[in-house]
Amino acid sequence: MPDDAVTAASPAAADAASPQGQRRRIIFPSSIGTSGTPAFQDRVALFNEIGPDTVFMMGDNPALAPMPEKPTLADFFRYRLFPRGVNHLLQSAALARKAGLEEKVVLACLLHDIGFAGFMGSDHGYWGAQLIGPYVDEEVSWAVRYHQALRFFPDESVGYGYPAAYLRYFGPDYVPPPYIQEEYKAARKHRWYMSARMITVYDVYAFDPNAVVHLEEFTDLIGRHFKQPKEGLGFDGSPVAHMWRTIIWPNNFL
Ligand SMILES: [Fe+2]
Ligand SMILES: [Fe+2]
């Protein structure tokens, strides 16, 4: 593993005020981000680098933007989420709003891939739904969870076909696994089906890299429908606070 892949921006970037002082801090890449690649096992070598002047990263990584003490949803959009993902979320929400969908569904579009943009692709709908669960109407997190399965299944009644992007991404003969097929069937019968379906409808067109939509266009909507905890996301003691903290400090050894 090349050293630059695991070392903070530069040793000089280590914050003297950090509890780890001026020591060189190295990042131990996460199991989930390396599993299935040589990097997973290569991490063993990093333990040999640890010594009086070299420690594992704990706390703020100077390569990342500093987060406020009490971070809001907007702070995560600005400072942590994958920028291409943020662009996609903003475009999806803008299209849904333009189509006149109710605010709850616009919010679901704005948040639908937060799991992907903040955590990982695998089961991103479920991660995203869990992350936002305590702060949004139950219908919003439900829709975020189920959009993942619904993306694989057309619905002619709303003009939704199988995504052309998925043909490229996964190959034309890809078949979703049984659990996704079961989730689709369950969602189809649910009273909130159309909310999750609307995410997929406004999802599919939202990949214009040149489109510019500003987060500020949704400040009021977020204020009305996202229950921002006063302690900040990650510090309110909710069952998902640790998930937000992991996005704040993704490089912590523990
Ligand atoms: Fe998605
Ligand atoms: Fe999406």
Secondary-structure class of domain 73-247 per CATH: mainly alpha
- Cα–ligand 2 centroid distance for 225 (angstroms): 20
From the CB of residue 150, how many other CB atoms can be counted at a distance below 10 Å?
25
Check: CB of residue 54 under 8 Å from CB of residue 23: yes
What's residue 22's pLDDT?
A: 86
CA distance 42 to 45: 6
User: Which residues neighbour ligand 2 (ion) by CB within 5 Å?
Assistant: 113, 203
Ligand closest to 110 (CA) is 2
Between the CA of 104 and the centroid of ligand 1 the distance, in Å, is 17
Task: Supply the pLDDT for residue 17.
Answer: 61
Q: What is the pLDDT of residue 86?
A: 95
Q: How far is the CA of 47 from the centre of ligand 2 (A)?
A: 38
**To which H or E segment does residue 196 belong?**
helix 193-203
Cβ(56)–Cβ(25) below 8 Å: yes
Q: What angle do CA 14, 20, 24 make, to 5 degrees?
A: 50
CA of 48 to the centre of ligand 1 (A): 39
**Around ion ligand 1, which residues have CB less than 5 A away?**
113
The model's pTM: 0.91
Ligand closest to Cα of 150 equals 1
Å from CA of 197 to ligand 2 middle: 12
Alpha-carbon distance values, 110 to 9, 166, 246 (Å): 31, 21, 21
How confident is the model over 129-165, as pLDDT tens digits? Answer: 999 999 999 999 999 999 999 999 999 999 999 999 9
Tens of pLDDT along the chain (254 residues)?
333 334 444 444 445 567 787 899 999 999 999 999 999 999 999 999 999 999 999 999 999 999 999 999 999 999 999 999 999 999 999 999 999 999 999 999 999 999 999 999 999 999 999 999 999 999 999 999 999 999 999 999 999 999 999 999 999 999 999 999 999 999 999 999 999 999 999 997 766 777 789 999 999 999 999 999 999 999 999 999 999 999 999 999 99
Question: Which ligand is nearest to the Cα of residue 124, counting in written order?
Answer: 1
- What secondary structure letter does DSSP report for 252? -
How much distance in Å is there from the Cα of 112 to the middle of ligand 1?
6
Q: Residues near 114 by Cβ (< 8 Å), separated by ≥ 6?
A: 76, 81, 89, 128, 131, 132, 144
Q: How far apart (Å, rounded) are the C-alpha atoms in residues 95 and 106?
A: 9
Q: Where in the chain is the domain with CATH 1.10.3210?
A: 73-247
Q: Which numbered ligand comes closest to the C-alpha of 149?
A: 1
Neighbours of 15 (CB within 10 A): 16
For 134, left (φ over 0), alpha (ψ -120 to 50), or beta? Answer: alpha
Helix or strand run (H / E) with residue 222: helix 219-225
